[in-house]
Structure 1
């Protein structure tokens, strides 16, 4: 019933699956009726595995809080056992985004037209891997150099390609000799949608060939997009919309500008 309620709230199928899996694990370990569960039971469950990262514990607690809060609101239980529990401090660190110079090195390391198209699309749109992975050829608006993607919470938004990304994407599509409607396909027959893991592997090959010390993944291009555009003077609200963030606080993580940019901003905006 809880999962059904959350589905009506507009949560994505992936999020609902995560909720169901987490609550099933909790039920298997605690083995108590909902009304009998105490704060100590939840604390025990969260601390049983000493190898879990703080970010994982935060996610687990968030799901449990959502579940028990719903039980109280629906009057299935009288008190919420997670109310006294505070989420551990966020240890999340943004991966280092490649510099402009490193981005050029990655471009030169591409050996195939497909690799270059993948790289340019991921960087120019600032999309998550899952958002790009689900695109079809018909989704691309050639005239506006844009496309619509489905992000977290099944929310749709418009993202844009650069001239360079559009050029390499067109080059990739014209090279193909198939009738597959999918935007990113496998190299060999039967042609089908290229898997997320496959795209990750292609980016890994490019990174290895580029000889960069820091690991570069499809997700890192999202950070690169955000960091470089903010450093170049883009408005925070615009980047928030382009990235599909529901809160500006999430976007603010990327707003670490260079010393040169800070100096230029001070000089430009300070009233003498």
Structure 2
């Protein structure tokens, strides 16, 4: 007997949570996109997954386009649907996969926002007020180690190797990686720990003045406020620091595969976007400074 779409979605999300160990934010995004798709199916009297055809999926994509969603959002929603149907097909919940041949809408990938290295150094070095040590270490580690927000928030004291000058990061899909810890980051981290000492190895590394774990919204506010002092880039989020770190490494001759490992990307193609950023920066510098430009 064919299963209801809602049941298959829950089984799929359960696999992502318990077996593939996706992050809470990723699960939430999948749930939102698939719930929207489920509602559309219900409105069109499609309650079971085996009732969905390729023609119906194209009708859904037209519906998304009529809502004037950008192509990146539509691609993300389509990716969630593809993953759902792939899961159902592999687990023999459906006999054919109607989503297997659906093409992605053509998108022009946006280049990430980048803050120049001089501005970031000025931001970290210029502020000598020790009361801001929490904000400084958040910016320093986010940029210095090219961390995702969730990775920064979940760092524990035991993840730091002070002798080896490395930091152990638990990334997406519970994948572990080791990232170098620069001398400046290490000095600032020691200063921070003098003010915010830990009591055991399992303590979260970065904590508030109330000894509580930091959280993504707090990190965003701190980064946004501080970046506003030194740059006019539109996106002043913590991820901008990660983008900037990757771009600056490539600008200074780092190997693309090394940058991939530091960032914790699964595919090299994800890292390659930063080569385009560096090329665009090179072009901008040429046009601005070369007399023959």
TM range (shorter): 0.7 to 0.9
CA distance in 2: counterparts of 1:52 and 1:81, whole angstroms: 23
Q: Does 1:184 align with 2:201?
A: no
Q: CA deviation at 1:141?
A: 1.1
Residue 198 of structure 1 aligns with which residue?
Answer: 218
Q: How much does 1:174 deviate? A: 0.4
Deviates more, 1:76-85 or 1:223-232: 76-85
Change (3 A) 1:16 1:200: closer
Matched-pair contact (CA < 8 Å) for 2:228–2:236: no
Deviation at 1:219, TM superposition (A): 0.7
| SS in structure 2 at match of 1:30 | helix
Q: Is the 8 A contact 1:109 1:209 kept in 2?
A: no
Which shifted more, 145-154 or 99-108? Answer: 99-108
**1:131: how far off?**
0.5
Any idea what SS the aligned residue of 2:228 has? helix
User: Within 2, Cα distance between the matches of 1:2 and 1:119?
Assistant: 36
Q: Is the Cα contact below 8 Å between 1:109 and 1:207 reproduced in 2?
A: no
Q: Give CA-to-partner distance per residue, 1:180-228, whole Å, 9 cap, x none.
A: 82222123x3x20011111111112212233x21143211111111111
* Residue 121 (structure 2) aligned to one of 104, 119, 126: 104
Aligned in 2, Cα 1:235/1:53: closer, same or farther, shift over 3 Å? same
> How far apart, in 2, do the equivalents of 1:192 and 1:103 lie?
27
CA contact (8 A) 2:166 2:179 kept: yes
Q: Structure 1: how far apart are the matches of 2:54 and 2:77? A: 14
Which residues of 2 match residues 43-122 of structure 1 at below 5 A? 43-49=58-64, 50-108=67-125, 110=127, 111=129, 112-122=132-142
Residues 1:12 and 2:22 aligned together: yes
Task: Please tell me the root mean square deviation across aligned C-alpha atoms, in Å.
Answer: 2.5
C-alpha contact (below 8 Å) 1:64/1:82 kept by paired residues: yes
Asked if 1:2 is matched to 2:12, the reply is yes
Superposed displacement of residue 105, structure 1: 3.0
Q: Tell me, in whole angstroms, the C-alpha distance in 2 between the residues paired with 1:83 and 1:69.
A: 8
Which residue of structure 2 aligns with residue 269 of structure 1? none
| Shift, 1:18, TM fit | 3.4
Q: Match for residue 36 of structure 1? A: 51
The answer to whether the 8 Å contact 1:109/1:206 transfers is: no
Q: 1:166 aligns with which of 182, 186, 205?
A: 186
Distance 1:67 1:8, change over 3 A: same
1:213 maps to: 232
Aligned residues: 259
Displacement of 1:123 after TM fit?
A: 1.2
- What SS does structure 2 have at the residue aligned with 1:48? helix
- Rounded to whole Å, the distance in 2 between the matches of 1:201 and 1:2 is 34
Give the secondary structure class of the aligned counterpart of 1:93. Answer: coil
Distance (whole Å) between structure 2 residues aligned to residue 229 and residue 77 of structure 1: 47
Unmatched runs of 5 consecutive residues or more in structure 1: 264-272
SS of alignment partner, residue 274 of structure 2: coil
Give the TM-score normalised by structure 1.
0.85
